[in-house]
Amino acid sequence: MPSKQYAILVDRLKDLSYLGSALGLLHWDQEVHMPPAGAEMRARTIGYLSGRTHEQFLALDKDKLLSKLAVALKDKDTAEAASVRDVWRSYRREKKLPVKFVREFSELCSEAHVVWAKARETSDFSLFQPLLEKIVAMKRQEAEYVGYKDSPYDALLDAYEPGATCAQLSPVFSELRDFLQPFIRRIVRAAASQPSLPDLKGTFPIEKQKAFNALVAEKMGFSHAAGKIDVSTHPFTMGFHPQDVRITTRYDERDALYAIGSTVHEVGHALYEQGLPVEHFGTPLGEAVSLGLHESQSRVWENQIGKGRAFWTYFYPKLQKAFPKPFKRVVFEDFFRIVNQVRPSLIRTESDEVTYNLHIILRYEIEKGLIEENLKVKDLPGIWKAKMKEYLGVCVPDDRQGVLQDVHWSGGSIGYFPTYTLGNLYAAQFYAAALRELPRLQTDVAKGRFAPVREWLRQKIHVHGKLHSAQVLVKNVTGEELSSRYFIEYLKTKYGELYGV
C-alpha cells in the first residue's frame, strides 16, 4: 500500500532534515558567533556536509521507493500525494546536479561570503569580483544541468518560486516600475512643500533597544521558548524546527527605529516557521510553500500591520516610555509620518515600502543579464550606479552602499531577489482578504490584540505546509489569482492620504 511506502519515505526525509538542521546551525553560527579565523575550516565542513546531504537526498530512490510512489500517487488528491509530488520534483532537479558540483559550489560560497564581508567593509568590489565571476559561471552551469525552456534564469527562479518564469515576471515588474517611478516623483514633489519633520536621532542604549524589540516580538506572538533573537550584519531567519527558530536583527545606537522594522520583518518569517505543523516535520507538509509566500508573511507584518496606524497606536506610548528623549516631544501624527516617510535611498533593506520594489527590479534585471550573458560581472558597479540614478534618482557614492550591499550573491542565491516583490504582492492581497474576514482587525491591533490576525494567517497559510502550490493557496485564501492591483491600490490609498497625491 502507498501509505506504508510513504511512511518509509517519511523516515528517510526526517533523516535528511536532521542533516539540514546541522548545516543550518553551521550557517547561523557563521553569521552570529564564528571567529574570523574559522572561515576556511567552516567552508570545508559545510562543503562536506552539503555533499553528503545531496548524496543522501539522491538515495531516497535507491530502491525505487520514491519513483514508485510518484507513479502510484500521480493523480491522487491527498496530502500524501502532494508531499510526494514535491519531493519528486526536487529529486528530479537534484539528480541532475553532480555531487562534486554541489560540494564545490558550497565551498565556493562559504569562501565568497567571507570575502564579500571584507569587500563590503572596505567598499572594494574588486576583492569580491573574482569569486562572484566563479559563482555566476557555476550558476550558469547549474541552469544547464537542470534545463530550461526559454531563459537559463528560469531554471534558477524555479528553485525559489516553483513555476515562476521570466515570461511571467517581466511584464509584472515592468508594470510596477512604470507605476512606481512617476508615483514616487509625485510624492517627492509633495513632500518638498510639507512642513519639515522632527529629528528622531538620539542616544539609545543597545540593551534597552533589545528589550523593546523583544517586547514587540512577544506581542506579535513570537515564542521565545521556541525561538531566539541575535545580531548579525544582515538580518535573517532560520528555522531548524517549529520549536527552534532563530532570527537576527541589527541595531544603531543613534536610531531606535533602525532595528524595529527588521525585527518585525524577521518575526513575520519566524511566525510562519513556528506555525508549521510539527507532526509533519521533515516532509513538504511541514515546510513553507515558497520563498515568495514566506516573504509575504514578513511583509504583511512589517508593512501592512507594522507601519499601520493601529500598530503604532498601541506601541508608540510604550516607545515614548522606553525612550522619552526624543519621543515624548514628538506628537503621534508626526511620528506616523516619519515611520511612513517615502525617500528614495541607497540601501534596499532600509528603503520604504514605496521605493522598495524598484530596488528588486534593478537586481532582477542585473541577475537575468548575468545569467543570460548580456552583462559582465566586472561592469556591475557602473551598471548599478546607472540604474539607481535612473530608477530612484540617487547617486551611489561607493561599492559598499551599492553593488556590495546584499549578502545574496555571495551565498549563490541568484534567482532569489524576485521573491521579495512577489512577497509584497501576496501580502497586499492576503491583507485585503483578512480585512474582509476580520472586520475588527485594526481595532484589535490598536489594543495590542495581535492573536486574531496571527491565527488567521496561521490557519489560512501556515498549517498547510506545501499541501498547495503558491498559486492555488493564493486563490484558496483570497478567492482569486495573484494580482498586482491590491498592492498598487494599497500604496495609492495610504500614501495618497499621507502626501495628498
Given a cut of 90, whether residue 496 has pLDDT beyond it is: yes
Cα distances (Å, whole numbers) of residue 425 to 271, 343, 455: 19, 21, 21
* Confidence category of residue 424, pLDDT binned at 50, 70, 90: very high
Mean pLDDT score, 200-210:
96
**Which has the minimum average pLDDT: 159-168, 267-276, 450-459?**
159-168
Cα distances (Å, whole numbers) of residue 468 to 6, 132, 397, 477: 18, 35, 45, 11
Rounded distance, CA 305 to CA 213, Å?
A: 16
266 near 28, Cβ under 8 Å? Answer: no
* Confidence category of residue 349, pLDDT binned at 50, 70, 90: confident
217 near 209, Cβ under 8 Å? Answer: no
28 near 246, Cβ under 8 Å? Answer: yes
421 or 163: whose pLDDT is higher?
A: 421
Domain 167-499 belongs to what architecture?
Orthogonal Bundle (1.10)
Q: Residue 110's pLDDT is what?
A: 87
Domain range list for the chain: 2-147, 167-499
Q: ∠ at Cα 305 (434, 294), nearest 5°? A: 75
Pairing label, strands 244-249, 227-231:
parallel
Stretch (H or E) spanning 441: helix 441-446
90 near 30, Cβ under 8 Å? Answer: no
Residue 115 contacts by C-beta under 8 Å, 6 or more apart in sequence?
Answer: 127, 128, 131, 410
Mean pLDDT score, 332-355:
95
From the list 107, 142, 266, 365, the catalytic residue is 266
Q: Residue 1's pLDDT is what?
A: 46
Given a cut of 70, whether residue 2 has pLDDT beyond it is: no
* Confidence category of residue 47, pLDDT binned at 50, 70, 90: confident
Unique residue bearing C-alpha cell 500614501: 495
Pairing label, strands 227-231, 237-241:
unpaired
Reply yes or no on whether 266 is catalytic. Answer: yes
pLDDT in tens, 127-142: 999 999 999 999 999 9
Q: Which triple of cell numbers denotes residue 53?
A: 546531504
Mean pLDDT score, 183-196:
94
311 or 28: whose pLDDT is higher?
A: 311
Given a cut of 80, whether residue 195 has pLDDT beyond it is: yes
Three-state DSSP class for residue 324? helix
Average pLDDT for the chain: 95
Looking from the CA of 324 toward its CB, the CA atoms found within 13 Å total 1
Mean pLDDT score, 171-184:
94
243 near 276, Cβ under 8 Å? Answer: no
Q: Residue 43's pLDDT is what?
A: 85
Mean pLDDT score, 391-399:
97
Mean pLDDT score, 19-30:
92
Q: Residue 54's pLDDT is what?
A: 87
* pTM given for the model: 0.90
Rounded distance, CA 138 to CA 115, Å?
A: 18
397 near 182, Cβ under 8 Å? Answer: no
235 near 247, Cβ under 8 Å? Answer: yes
